[in-house]
Amino acid sequence: MTDHDHDHHADHGSDLSETQLRVRALETILTEKGYVDPATLDAIVETYETKIGPRNGALVIARAWSDPAFKQALLEDATKAVATLGHVSRVGDHLVAVENTPRRHNMIVCTLCSCYPWEVLGLPPVWYKSAPYRSRAVKDPRGVLAEFEVELPKDTEIRVWDSTAETRFLVLPMRPEGTEGWSEERLADLVTRDSMIGTGLARKPGELAQ
Amino acid sequence: MNGVHDMGGMDGFGKVEAEPNEPPFHAAWEGRVLAMQRAMGHAGAWHIDDSRFAQEALPPQVYLAASYYWRWALAMENNLLARGYVTRAELAAGHALQPAKPVKTRLTLDVVNEGLVRSSFFRPPQASARFKPGDRVRTRNFHPQTHTRLPRYARDKLGVVELLHGCHAYPDSVATGQGDDPQWLYTVVFDSREIWGADADPTLKISIDAFEPYLEAA
């Protein structure tokens, strides 16, 4: 066993599944051929486990709620606007922010695969990549929203954005009432991952965990 | 290709089941697959469209039964084999048996954060954009056997151009080895009744991002 081959493989002994064995074999081959470096793979996994997640997006939303000029910039060119925030990792090109209003609710899907704004939301949840969501979001979004316990007024326009190219969409949810004067940190606690996909709404102040 | 991956509007898959407090990975091997895929992408071994096409080309029963990262793993094996980075004998042996095929670069620890930033898909245009926001367009009715990003539900439909995203590498050409073939990219919005018929929810609008070759003036 080599030094990189630590706890993520070593604790199963003979119980390794065929899947684990096949993936481990692949990593061994790619490493022996010099295509990949196991320590770098560790760092990639760690990045997605600990550094890149929906808190990044929540801070972007909280800033947009607090700073009208930033909100304007975000809606004009989200990649450029997010780059001005030091606390969020750099994002690639083609990020587009879409704003929820009392008249229009936005919802994001990728019917063809799993396109998702990783840099601001982290890795997509399994449901986002699943057949039920991919098949139904474009045809029955209100039915999907009901499964997320979201019910919108009957006359609210629902706009579903199918991420069919390299553009990535981030929903700017509506700011909950009763949050006047809140700090950005505190506002960010109201911004859920699902509210930035459009399958949820931002939490109300009373829904914050104590 | 008209594969099972093209799921928009299909019925019968059931309810959306969200998992509370879902972890980034459900098993350690999933993270290794993701990391290997990112590293091979950074190395220039194949394009993201090749990864997508390799998943779409899996037998439908395999595609539907595989978990997400297992589908990635199967597609990665096929891309490695198809491009000569590994051999079937090596996959069977679980070890390298022959010299490596050269790669453009390697993702290493010192540049790992840079390597995780998405690359830009902007490309210099080959011609000026044919459409502008507000134009009415009809999507093409085509059914290529190869990779395309025009979903079936949105073919041969009337829509309106809403946004122009610049000129991008064209997946249909990239995935068939024809290079970037840059094309203008638009957000095109459709009324739900144009897509799903008279009984559709009239408050629903659906948009796709459509490359210029997917569109004709209407």
Residues of B in contact with A137 (CB under 8 A): 8
The dotted CATH code for B28-115 is 1.10.472.20
A88 confidence band (pLDDT: 50, 70, 90): low
The CA distance from A207 to A197, in Å, is 19
A12 confidence band (pLDDT: 50, 70, 90): very low
The SS3 assignment for B138 reads strand
Give the β-pairing of A157-162 and B183-191.
unpaired
- Reference B206, options A111, A172, A194, A148; nearest CA is A111
Minimal C-alpha gap between B7 and chain A (Å): 5
- Cβ contact A29–B86 (<8 Å): yes
**Which residue segments constitute the domains of chain A, with CATH numbers given?**
14-51 (no CATH), 54-207 (3.90.330.10)
Do B94 and A28 meet the contact criterion of CB atoms below 8 Å apart?
yes
pLDDT above 80 for A13: no
The SS3 assignment for A108 reads strand
Minimal C-alpha gap between B217 and chain A (Å): 20
* C-alpha distance across the termini of chain B, in Å: 25
Minimal C-alpha gap between A178 and chain B (Å): 27
Residue of B nearest to A16 (CA): B29
- Cβ contact B68–A126 (<8 Å): yes
Amino acid sitting at position A156: T
Domain map (residue ranges) of chain B? 28-115, 136-217
Length of chain B: 218
Nearest to B109 among A22, A39, A158 (CB): A39
- Cβ contact A147–B15 (<8 Å): yes
ipTM of the complex: 0.97
Q: What is the mean pLDDT of chain A?
A: 91
pLDDT at A195: 98
Count CA atoms closer than 13 A to B111's CA, side-chain side. Answer: 10
- Cβ contact A49–B24 (<8 Å): yes
Residue of A nearest to B147 (CA): A112
The CA distance from A58 to A53, in Å, is 9
Q: What is the pLDDT along chain B (218 residues), one digit of tens a residue?
A: 999 999 999 999 999 999 999 999 999 999 999 999 999 999 999 999 999 999 999 999 999 999 999 999 999 999 999 999 999 999 999 999 999 999 989 999 988 888 888 889 999 999 999 999 999 999 999 999 999 999 999 999 999 999 999 999 999 999 999 999 999 999 999 999 999 999 999 999 999 999 999 999 99
The CA distance from A153 to A141, in Å, is 13
Question: What percentage of chain A reaches a pLDDT higher than 90?
Answer: 83
**Is A195 annotated in the active site?**
no
pLDDT at A16: 75
**Is A130 annotated in the active site?**
no
- Reference A66, options A94, A92, A51, A85; nearest CA is A85
Residues of B in contact with A23 (CB under 8 A): 29, 32-33, 73
Tell me which DSSP letter residue B120 carries.
P
CATH architecture of the domain B136-217 equals Roll (2.30)
